[in-house]
Amino acid sequence: MQVSFSVAVAGASGYAGGEMLRLLLSHPEARIGALTANTSAGRPLGEHHPHLAPLAGRTLDPTDPDILAGHDVVVLALPHGASAEISAALEAAGSQALVLDCGADHRLVDPQDWEQFYGSAHAGAWPYGLPELIRAETGERQREELRRARRVAVPGCNVTAVTLALQPGVAGGIVDAGDVVATLAVGYSGAGRSLKPHLLAAEAAGNLAPYAVAGTHRHVPEIEQNLRRAGAETVRLSFTPVLAPVARGILATVTAPLRPGIEPASVRAAWEQCYGAAEPFVRLLPEGTWPSTAMVAGANAAAVQVAVDERAGRVVALCAIDNLVKGTAGAAVQSMNLALGLSETTGLTTVGVAP
C-alpha cells in the first residue's frame, strides 16, 4: 500500500531529532514538515546538523502546538517533562496526528515509579514503542498493540538494550529475574546535547565514568516494567551505566541466575526461538561471537549473544545497539510504520557503517 504522510519533528536541533530526520530522509513515504526547537528557533537546521544536507537550509520554528498541528505524524524529541504539555495541547486542539514521544513522559505505567524517579506529576502511559517486546499475558509481541496506536512512548535506549538481551530467558523460564545485574557501556550522545562540564571532550576522551549508580538511574523502573511484561513475577535489578568515550552505541552485559533444573546446553534455544526470522532487527550471533557497538553503528539493529557461566550458575546475555537508531529514532520509525499500516521495515536498514 502506498501512503504519503507529513511528519513534524519537535526538538529537531537535538541528537534524537537529528537522527529522526536522517531516517525520515530515507523513508519512501514520509514528507518532512515543520522542524521546531526551543532556544535555537529562528536559526537554520544546518548549524546543528550539517550532515543533513537536504534540510540544512530549513529554518527552525518555535515548538508551538499550532505549528505542529495539521501534520499526520508529530515526533516529540524533547527533554523529559516537556512532551506531556505539548501532546496535551495537540489533543485539546483536536489534532488527529499520530504522536511519537521520544522522551520519558509516557513510558511508565505506575504513577509512583514516575513520581519517584522524575519528581513530577504522572502524565499517563501510552502504548510502548518496542515492537519486539514479549507480552506474556497475551502471548503476542508489542507490535500488535502498536498496530492500533495513535500515541506511542518510544523506549529509553538503555532499556531497549537490557530488555532485548534478557527477555528470552525471562519468558522461557530460564532465568531468575529476582537477581538481575546489568552493566552498560554507553556512548556520550546518550546524554543529550546540553553543555555540561563532564560531557566536554577534554573530560570524556580516554575516560570511563559511571553515572546514576546504585539504583538511581531513571531507566531502572522501565526495565523492570518490561521484564514483568515478559513474564517475570518479581524483578530485582542492579543497573550500572558507564559513559564510554565513543559518540554512539550501547553494549549491555546482563546476568541472572540460571533456574534450577535448566540444562546449560538448552539455554541458547530460548534465544533462538525468540529471535528467529520473525524479528528483522534483532540478530542472535553465532556461538562464540560477541556483540560490539561497531557491528550496529548507524543501523536499526540489535546484536545479541547468550552464554552460561556454569561456575557462577548465571546466564550472561549481551546486546549491542546504536543508542540513537535502534535505541531511539529507529524504534520510533518502526512504531510509526506499524501504526500507519506500513511494513515495519520501511525506510530502515540493518546495514551499519564501518570503520
CB atoms within 10 A of CB 4: 9
**From 102, 157, 274, 319, active-site residue:** 157
Is residue 293 within 8 A of residue 250, CB to CB? The reply is yes
The cell numbers describing 276, all together, are: 528467529
Distance of CA 242 to the CA centre of its chain: 17
DSSP codes of every residue in 116-169: HHH-S-------B--TT-EETTTTEETHHHHTT-SEEEPPPHHHHHHHHHHHHH
The cell numbers describing 29, all together, are: 513515504
Residue 157 annotated to the active site: yes
Peptide bond into 355 cis (omega under 30): yes
Which secondary structure element, helix H or strand E, spans residue 32, and what is its range? strand 30-37
The CA distance from 34 to 67, in Å, is 7
User: Phi and psi at residue 14, in whole multiples of 5°?
Assistant: -85, 175
**Residues involved in catalysis:** 157
